[in-house]
Amino acid sequence: MMRFKHIVVLGAGLLAVALAQASALEQFKSFVASTKAAKGEFTQKQVKNTNGEAPKVSTPASGTFVFARPGKFIWTYVKPYDQVLQADGDQLFIFDKDLNQVTVKKLGDALGSSPAAILFGSNDLEKNFTLSEAGAREGLEWLKAVPKAKDTSFEQITIGLRNGLPEAMELKDSFGQTSVLSFRKIEKNPALTATSFKFVMPKGADVFNNN
């Protein structure tokens, strides 16, 4: 029994070393292939470049996320405001708690070339994105994803990985603004039920249907 435990520990150690040495693309493809669902915590800030001046950084936002492929997720902002983005695979619900207001949109093909598709979409990423290595920075291996569609609101996404998990994501739009996200406490393939992503309409909420 002790020998078996040593083999398991050794195997886990070798896997960790292999992931640490793997390229960003290899790590990300492994993550996508082995992760049908995940949950964790995030922080997010906006960085806007100004002509010749220091970049302007927004107040950081933070919250939690849970997703299940394809196209099901709950992205919850806790600070500095309460907002929930929830998709059930068919529709996207945006709930502003302060206003008690819900906007409903059809998920449709819009998810395919959106930043959300990187983490929450199908496994066929190269259908919608051109993927390439973006080097090492801040202890992470970076992957660049450029949308193939010309009508998206952003120019590129970069994803920083370490030990087979995404730890950071940068979304650069066409207006010189970059959304910078960091992820922590990621749990792969947590137990989820068939109703985990079913949106329950808040009592008395104003509903705007944009389908």
Length of the chain in residues, anyone?
Answer: 211
Reported as a single tens digit per residue, the pLDDT across 41-78 is 999 999 987 776 777 888 899 999 999 988 899 999 99
**CA pair distance 174, 52, nearest whole angstrom:** 18
Number of neighbouring beta carbons within 10 Å of residue 155: 14
- 171, β-bridge pairs: 157, 179
CA distance 196 to 117: 19
Q: Average pLDDT of 164-193?
A: 92
Every domain of the chain and the residues it spans = 30-190
CATH ID of 30-190, from 3.20.20.370, 3.40.50.2020, 2.50.20.10, 3.30.465.10? 2.50.20.10
Strand locations in 17-111 (E): 37-50, 53-57, 61-68, 72-79, 83-88, 91-96, 101-106
pLDDT digits (tens, 9 = 90+) for 84-131: 999 998 999 999 999 999 999 988 755 655 667 777 776 677 888 899
Token pair belonging to 146: 């450029």
Asked if 148 contacts 129 with a C-beta cutoff of 8 angstroms, the reply is yes
What is the pTM (predicted TM-score) of this model? 0.81
Cβ-contact 166, 158 below 8 angstroms? no
